[in-house]
Structure 1
Amino acid sequence: METKSALNRVTIWASLLFVVILGFSRLSYGMFLPGIQREIGGSYGQLGMLGTVNFIGYLAGTLCLSPLISRFPDRKHVINRLSCFMLGLAMIGSAFSDHFPSLGLWRFVIGLLSAVATVLVLSLALDAVRPAERGAASGLIWLGGSAGILVTGLFAPLTIDPSHLQGWRYAWIAMGVFGIMAACGFEFATKKRSSVKAPSRAESNPREPERENVYRLLLSPKKLLFLTGSYFFFGWGYIIYFTYLIPYLVSKGIPSLYAGLIWSSLGLAGLFNGWIGGKAIDRWPSGYTLASGLALGTIGAMGVTTHNVVITALGAVTIGLASFLTPPLMTTALLRRHVPPGAYAACLSLTTAFFAIGQIIGPLVGGAVVERYGLPFGVASSAIFLAIAAALAGVFGQQQRKREIRHLPIKA
């Protein structure tokens, strides 16, 4: 099967899809919270619960994907096509929510569909890339999420300013339309490949022992448990920061334009992080590389404790530059290097499930801290869990060094 360089038509369309899958469908919610609160009402703790509902859907989609692929091994393109198109439609539907139950239902559906799309878009796109360049390709794809944050920041005057009560609705409709267009582009780019690609032996003959090996790989302390744990705590920590950063800035009386620019600067920095991080993990495929980015993110998240807007903004840029996309793309690349090819999709799905559980817990913990201690402490609490993620990644790097995993694939 012919493979291509990291920068090709398939990865470009995959990156555009990640603008929607990550930047629009999941992280735009934090940007829109002030506008949603003004129109629908509720405390930040209650609104944080809707973020939890989104990630419960994300977990459900992740858990359903592995058996779905096993049941229909030759239908990954079809499953991906449906999930991407329906994700765009669900975002449009969520714009018409008038109360908590309906918005919560849409957030659940969006979470479920984005989980399926995340794994399948990555898997299908990386199949088209040379093995030596898959880290860089992962970076290119994941930086679409940063681009999505950048764009939502530009929407800030429309979505945050009290004079535009319906602004968040219009923004979600526009995002959903863009998602449908990106799904069409990715479908067109992969159609030719899917028509000639023969199913691999691993895909056409899934075995129950292989499923058992996936759990043994990811949950054994001697293999990938610490990498999986790092991804879990990253999901816990980063989602607190992204959910409550904008409400914190608004509570400080910062004009909506400036709050949006801080959010956009995070996304802009993430564009560089996506490409640089992908190159770094190709060159140094180690848990230490992952731990470095998470450690810088920990420092960035602590910026809010100074109660200084400039330092908070610099902290947001640090997170965007060093640790927003680093954990997902590096975890993706490390898994691709260290698990059998036939088990990759299942391993990525299960690892993403742990990531999703972290994202479910995060808004609950963050909301409780916000309600009890206020927004500054709520945002800063994300640093605790990012630090734990960095420590676990460092332990994984130490294991790699001792066992020379850079050159030897893990055996189940």
Structure 2
Amino acid sequence: MGGVVHDSYKSAFSWITIWASLLFAVILGFSRLSYGLFLPGIQREMGGSYGELGMLGTLNFIGYLAGTLCLPLLIGRFPSRKHTINRVSCTFLGIAMIGSVFSHSFIQLGLWRFVIGLLSAFATVLVLSIAMDSVQPNQRGMASGFIWLGGSAGIMITGLLAPYTIDPSHMTGWRYAWAAMGIFGICSSIGFEAVIRRDKIETTVRKIESNTRNKEHVNVYKLLFSPKKLLFLIGSYFFFGWGYIIYFTYLIPFLVNQGIPSLYAGLIWCGIGFAGLFNGWLGGRAIDRWPSGYTLATGLTLGAIGVLGVITNSIILTSLGGALIGLVSFITPPLMTTALLRRKVPNDIYATCLSITTAFFATGQIIGPLFGGWIVDRFGLQFGVTSSSIFMAISAALACIYGGIQQELETQNSLRSK
């Protein structure tokens, strides 16, 4: 089993977590969620129905799922190469974003979206795992929140670019924006690697017998898929992935279809990202203080309510609903799931468990755009966007069940200790 040796643990705010947060702006805000913002511009230049454009989003998440499934195998085969795999993944993620700029057909763009999804899956798990290994255990919730906060910053930045990427007068604006984001991603990967090397974080590996490794894999699956342990937490993450991606894929097309100027649509998107900057801080503090599924369920419930702003046909209520989602249920579910998982999983199998858990999240994200595109083509954009609240509510219910299981186990442990 592998372990990580540190000169000393870092606080939640260090150069390592700062560069990790910048990378998450690329991994989440730029490479994945910017697609929803750029969708009107892509459709205007390349054509296609919302179902076809949703399929391009699905290809991205199929790549993401493939990455989360392949990563445990890579780590198992090369346990001392985690930093190398991360370095290659982050660098080539930026290069792939630049490559997608030169797409002139759905097939080309779809292939690039698949590759970007694959690489972002590697980067999501490895950047988070490497950064969290360096942080003091009692500050890992806050550190997780700070790192995921970078995703909100990425959303906010893409929102500021909306007038340039959505406005019909800038037909190829989305291409230049993606190229700039790819360059930023390469620079961020270089910065993250530099601070890791400077702080001399080294991975050490002990040789283990093959039968011990097989036993470890059995333990991983028993831990993750036992109803009395982590199964409901994983289920909650799956339905969150399904629900939130519908909202983020079709919100901007809905606003544009309503005749809202591109500047205002971009400001709403930017507002979600700005609120998410506080989400990381609030969510991290909350999960460190109340490490429970109930804490997770609270944010998800409020997010489901926020989605319903679109049914009012009021730009003010839609904006407030988006801000609520950004504040309590955009970054919060991933960071809280990460933190809750970190509390229950041994260090040596954490990366593997996180990767498997993320695979279920990715599966939800694959289904989401397909389901959302089908709903939109048949019932319209408003109904399609609103449908995301159903799956966020299911996610909240499963998180609540997990909280009840936690409480029951804690009660049993307390009675045994007396």
Q: TM-score, normalised by structure 1?
A: 0.97
Compare 151-160 and 201-210 and name the one that shifted more. 201-210
Q: Secondary structure at the match of 2:228?
A: coil
Contact 2:64–2:119 at 8 Å: present in 1 too?
Answer: yes
- Deviation, 1:340, is 1.4
Residue 164 of structure 1 aligns to a residue in which SS? Answer: coil
Are residue 230 (structure 1) and residue 236 (structure 2) matched?
Answer: yes
State the distance in 2 between where 1:32 and 1:359 align.
18
- Across the aligned residues of Structure 1 and Structure 2, the Cα RMSD in angstroms comes to 1.6
So what's the TM-score if we normalise by structure 2? 0.95
1:199 aligns with 2:204: yes
Equivalent residue of 1:207, what SS? helix
Partner Cα distance (1:40, 1:84) in 2 = 28
Distance 1:327 1:171, change over 3 A: same
Q: 1:316 pairs with 322, 329, 332, which one?
A: 322
2:384 matches 1:384: no
Aligned to 1:256: 262
* Runs (5+) with no aligned partner, structure 2: 1-5
Is the CA contact 1:203–1:342 (under 8 Å) kept in the aligned structure 2? no
Helix, strand or coil: the match of 1:57?
A: helix
CA offsets 1:270-296 (integer angstroms, 9 cap, x no match): 000011101110000000000000000
Shift in Å, 1:192: 3.0
Q: Given the superposition, is the C-alpha separation of residues 382 and 217 from structure 1 closer, same or farther in structure 2, using an over 3 Å criterion?
A: same
Alignment check: 8 A CA contact 2:293 2:399 kept = yes
Change (3 A) 1:86 1:28: same
Once residues 36 and 412 of structure 2 are traced to their aligned partners in structure 1, the CA distance between those partners, rounded to angstroms, is 38
Q: Which amino acid aligns with 1:390?
A: A
Residues in 2 aligned to 1:372 and 1:233: alpha-carbon distance in whole angstroms? 22
Contact in 1 for aligned 2:80/2:205 (Cα 8 Å):
no
Separation in 1, partners of 2:30, 2:253: 18
Q: Which residue of 2 aligns with 1:240?
A: 246
Provide the C-alpha distance between the structure 1 equivalents of 2:121 and 2:272, rounded to a whole number of angstroms.
23
Where does structure 1 differ by over 6 angstroms across 4 or more consecutive aligned residues? 202-206, 405-408
String of CA shifts for 1:117-174, please: whole Å, max 9, x gaps.
0000000000110000000000000010000000000000100000000100000000
Deviation at 1:197, TM superposition (A): 2.4
Instruction: Look up the equivalent residue of 1:114 and give its one-letter code.
Output: S
For 1:149, which of 131, 144, 155 is the aligned residue?
A: 155
User: How far apart are 1:24 and its partner, in Å?
Assistant: 0.2
1:294-373 aligned at under 5 Å gives the runs: 294-373=300-379
Matches of 1:203 and 1:124 in 2, distance apart? 22
Task: Classify the secondary structure of the residue corresponding to 2:204.
Answer: coil
Counterparts in 2 of 1:163-182, with a 5 A limit? 163-182=169-188
Task: Tell me the percent identity.
Answer: 69
Q: 1-side partners of 2:194 and 2:158: how far apart?
A: 26
Offset of residue 342 of structure 1? 1.2
Q: Deviations over 1:363-394 (max 9, x none)?
A: 01100000010000000000000000000000
Worse-matched range after superposition: 299-308 or 22-31: 299-308
When residues 256 and 356 of structure 1 are mapped into structure 2, their CA distance, relative to the original with a 3 A threshold, is same
Residues 300 and 393, structure 2, Cα contact 8 Å, conserved in 1: yes
What residue is the counterpart of 1:60 in the other structure?
A: 66
Deviates more, 1:107-116 or 1:336-345: 336-345
Cα distance change of structure 1 residues 268 and 255 upon mapping to structure 2, 3 Å threshold: same
Number of residues of Structure 1 aligned to a counterpart in Structure 2:
407
Q: Does 1:105 align with 2:105?
A: no
Q: After superposition, what is the alpha-carbon deviation per residue over 1:80-112, rounded to whole angstroms, capped at 9, x for unaligned?
A: 000000000000000111110000000000000
Pick aligned residue for 2:28 from 22, 41, 52: 22
State the shift of 1:209 in Å: 1.0
